Amino acid sequence: MKTFISRIGQYKIIESDTGEIRWETHFGFGTIQEGRCFKKGTILFIGPGENRTQHGFLKGEFLDELDHYPAWMKTIYYCKGLDVFHSDGGKMVSREEMSLWNYQGSKDQRRPKAMVTESSETAYRLQKYEIIKTANHQILWKTSGGPYLGISGTGEIMEDILFIGSMRNETFDMNKREFLGHLDRLPEWDLTRYFCPKLSLHTCKVENRIEEQRNETKSRLPEITAIANEKSIYKYKETTEFRFIKTGLLESITEIIRRWAKKIVIHAISLLLLLGSCAFNCLLRLWKVLKTRYVKKKRFDR
């Protein structure tokens, strides 16, 4: 089985000739986490982590190895998570169905034909959302967030998926019951086959460019540091050496004083605890003696 390895940010993307796509990334200390990917047209969906294996190398070593692979260029976007649902019924899309996406071509539907031909504003019902298609081809959504609080935002259609974007709060003129009644009177959303409640799309080209700039800065950092150190030593050599010696002596004296102070405090606390225990035992014994005498005196008086 042949594999093609590329990278997106800190992810290693492994694509086999059978069509299966997996990802790997560094996780924890010397651990590699991996999972599955699903490609739908111009979007690569990165699924949750499934397995963890010990490789025994650090994150820096993993990123250095990752730099040897080419950037992922087979999709324009990538999406973290698999929160994709059927518009009809709201059932979550299975991974078996997502696997079939890898063999399908792009069906980019940013602007469906129905949206282009219609010029008026139209409202639809999608689960708990009211989806509004405006006359200028924008997608808006609304839903109830409380008795008199409505949540609204914008959306985006891509690859036959409606992505519900970030939200903002606004006050509705109707309460929650009235909103739900209004929602029931709307036609069902049928402009896309799927919908995603999170607009977690990222551009692959931007992510790879950020990583390249970061690696370039990282590679130039030792050179810049060496030049700065050379200038600093040349200009402040005598003063720096004197400060180093003076600072080292002060630090040694401070450390010695700190250790002795710590020992003195510990011994003082131990002594106070010992004295307190002895005083308590003496008071307890005195109390028993006085109690015994009091009982004997009381019997004698009788």
Going by pLDDT thresholds of 50, 70 and 90, the confidence category of residue 116 is very low
Tell me which of 184, 219, 254 is where a domain ends.
Answer: 219
Highest mean pLDDT out of 141-155, 190-204, 287-301: 190-204
The answer to whether position 194 is within a domain reads yes
| Shared-domain flag, residues 137 and 178 | yes
| Shared-domain flag, residues 37 and 118 | no
The answer to whether position 296 is within a domain reads no
Provide the number of structural domains found in the chain.
Answer: 2
The answer to whether position 76 is within a domain reads yes
The pLDDT of residue 208: 61
| Shared-domain flag, residues 43 and 190 | no
Rounded to whole angstroms, the Cα distance separating 185 from 187 reads 7
The answer to whether position 264 is within a domain reads no
The pLDDT of residue 49: 87
Going by pLDDT thresholds of 50, 70 and 90, the confidence category of residue 45 is very high
On whether the CB atoms of residues 132 and 119 are closer than 8 A, the answer is no
The answer to whether position 265 is within a domain reads no
| Shared-domain flag, residues 117 and 49 | no
Output the average pLDDT for the chain: 78
| Shared-domain flag, residues 133 and 175 | yes
Q: In what order do the strands lie in the sheet with 201-203?
A: 3-8, 11-16, 21-26, 31-40, 43-54, 77-80, 201-203
| Shared-domain flag, residues 28 and 172 | no
Rounded to whole angstroms, the Cα distance separating 301 from 188 reads 101
pLDDT at 235 over 70: no
The answer to whether position 290 is within a domain reads no
| Shared-domain flag, residues 169 and 210 | no
The answer to whether position 276 is within a domain reads no
Domain range for residue 182?
Answer: 107-199
Going by pLDDT thresholds of 50, 70 and 90, the confidence category of residue 222 is low
| Shared-domain flag, residues 131 and 206 | no
| Shared-domain flag, residues 74 and 208 | yes
The pLDDT of residue 39: 92
According to DSSP, the β-strands at 129-133 and 122-126 are antiparallel
The pLDDT of residue 245: 38
The stretch 266-271 carries a mean pLDDT of: 85
The pLDDT of residue 225: 52
The answer to whether position 157 is within a domain reads yes
pLDDT at 214 over 70: no
Going by pLDDT thresholds of 50, 70 and 90, the confidence category of residue 10 is confident
Structure tokens at 57: 């190398």
